[in-house]
Chains A and B, each alone.
Chain A
Amino acid sequence: MGTLTRELATVDLSVTSVRELNGELHAPKAQAYEVLHPQGAHALAAGLKDPISVDIRGHAGYYAAGMNDGGTVTVHGNVGTGVAENMMSGAVRVTGDASQSAGATAHGGLLVIEGSASMRCGISMKGVDIVVGGDIGPMSAFMAQAGRLVICGDAGDGLGDSIYEARLYVRGKTRSLGADCVAKPMRAEHEEELAGLLSAAGFDYDPAEFRRYGSARTLYHFAAHNEY
């Protein structure tokens, strides 16, 4: 298990298995971990239950930091499908780009993607805050139920399709909105909320540059006249 100190442990995945790494992280003996040579492996630092920090030095595969509950995970690179999926609490940061379904179904915590996120970012999000420094792909925030999604770049097609109650903030262009997703006025409380999210994520944008989108609430109940 590499060099182990009480404060910082280093795990080199060229000599240690992902199963051993995750076993250690589920019963941590150190406060902080550094993971070397991830090489796109799946499920890195998934299922953290303790307030430890994990720095992954390189690109991660699917479900990095999935189900995180209180950990602070930074991926110094790109991530594959489903980073921080079903996160409950804690913080996950990706310095590069994220593949599909970033933050899917996540209930809480903060997910920051410094680069861009691919399709279906925040699909069925249930309370997580997601801040994306670049663009997001089509079908993002599909069926989003709660939480906030901040996009500092552009949003792809079908943003917020069938959205319930999440709040979406977009600084750039939105290619198209999905069914029942509409533009809403930016009131003072929204600018304040957005300023807090940008600050937590470490982005220096003016909240006044953003537009807000949310649910028109016409799909809550079945109605024969619903065209969607």
Chain B
Amino acid sequence: MCGIVGLHLRDPDLYPQLGTLLETMLCQVIERGPDSAGVAVYGDRRRCPAGYAAVSVLTGDGDGDGDGSAPKDALAELLGDVVLTEAGDTTVIAAPVTVDELLAAVRHALPRARVVGSGTDLTVYKGTGHPRELARTYDLAGASGWQGLAHTRMATESAVTPEGCHPFSVGPDQCLVHNGSFSNHASIRRDLEFDGVEFDSENDSEVGARFLAARLAKGEDLQMALRALCEAFDGFYTLLVTSKDGFAVVRDAIACKPAIIAETSQWVAMASEFRALASLPGIEDARLYEPEPERVYAWAR
């Protein structure tokens, strides 16, 4: 199962509503994965002010003292002005430095924390629990921005944990969410490891995210990288991939994992099911269609 929702706003007047729209969409796919959820938001300046980099982490036991003051103090010493937001299992750390500098500082100050997202525009949240409660924990309704996605996970290949939540964000300002399962991920993982790519988990979807990140790092765009993914990967997938430039959707050749796309002049939205799109403004006049098998649909900002 698994539920996917994504929203790419074309009309800046809607940016302040991104979080509420995304939360409404998320709540319509709860039945598709009711025990954990991940969210990514692009352009939420509460959590990642302009000119800052942001890193989202899952904090390991013993890294913090519960109220976030110890890691914040440690990071402030390294970085100066730090914006630190605790949201359940996830902590978002932002500072006016480069992404690489921030990542190095976070790894130093929080050696047991797992980085689940990084960039200059992206904040990622992961956690276990009821997705409606998690949306509240993340204060999703308060988020503004230009693009976002959410995923409810019906775990099949690994346990229900914050680490197992999608999106997988392994490159700067990149996210991948997956409904399905890859069947040849072990051999692709070996090839990537041979090329020096490091993995955080045994999860099959992470292999897809690492594969795309390697392609994007070589300068390919989302369209080209996803075409290459279709050639390399076997198995079932509906993928939604986001970057600092835009938003892309692709399904495998059999396409049994659902997807529906809606487009208006104000936004592009994708979801596992229509009901997640039903409350979007202007949905009555949207162009509605299902993505065809192995065809890459991409929208640039």
Query: Interface residues, chain A, CB within 8 Å of chain B?
Result: 39-42, 59, 61-62, 78, 80-81, 97, 99-100, 118-119, 137-139
Contacts and interface: CB of A to CB of B under 8 A. Distances in A.
A81 B293 contact: no
Contact of A81 (B258, B277, B289): B258
Interface string B272-290: 0111111100000000111
Contacts of B279: 39
A61 B274 contact: yes
Contact of B275 (A61, A97, A138): A61
Interface string B253-273: 011101010000000000001
Nearest to A139: B254
B293 A119 contact: yes
A39 B288 CA distance: 14
B275 A100 contact: no
Contact of B273 (A61, A118, A119, A139): A61
A137 B256 CA distance: 12
Nearest to B276: A40
A39 B293 contact: no
Contacts of A41: 275
Contacts of B276: 40
A62 B258 CA distance: 11
Contacts of A137: 290, 292
Given A39-B278, A78-B288, A119-B293, A100 B273 contact: no
Nearest to A62: B273
Given A80-B273, A99-B260, A119 B278 contact: no
Contacts of A119: 255, 293
B256 A100 contact: yes
A145 B292 CA distance: 26
A81 B290 CA distance: 11
20 contacts: A39-B275, A39-B279, A40-B273, A40-B277, A61-B273, A61-B275, A62-B273, A78-B274, A78-B288, A80-B258, A80-B273, A80-B274, A97-B288, A97-B289, A99-B258, A118-B290, A119-B255, A137-B290, A137-B292, A138-B293
Given A81-B258, A99-B258, A100-B255, 18 more contacts: A39-B278, A40-B275, A40-B276, A40-B278, A59-B274, A59-B278, A61-B273, A61-B274, A61-B275, A62-B273, A78-B288, A80-B258, A80-B274, A97-B289, A99-B260, A99-B290, A100-B256, A119-B293
Interface residues of B, number: 18
Q: Which 3 A-B pairs have the closest CB atoms?
A: A40-B275, A40-B274, A39-B278
A62 B274 CA distance: 10
A33 B275 CA distance: 22
Contacts of A78: 274, 288
Contacts of B288: 78, 97
A99 B122 CA distance: 33
A62 B3 CA distance: 14
B131 to A, nearest CB: 18
Contacts of B293: 119, 138
A62 B292 CA distance: 19
Contacts of A139: 254
A139 B260 CA distance: 19
Q: Which of A40, A42, A80, A100 has most chain B Cβ within 10 Å?
A: A40
A40 B256 CA distance: 19
A99 B277 CA distance: 15
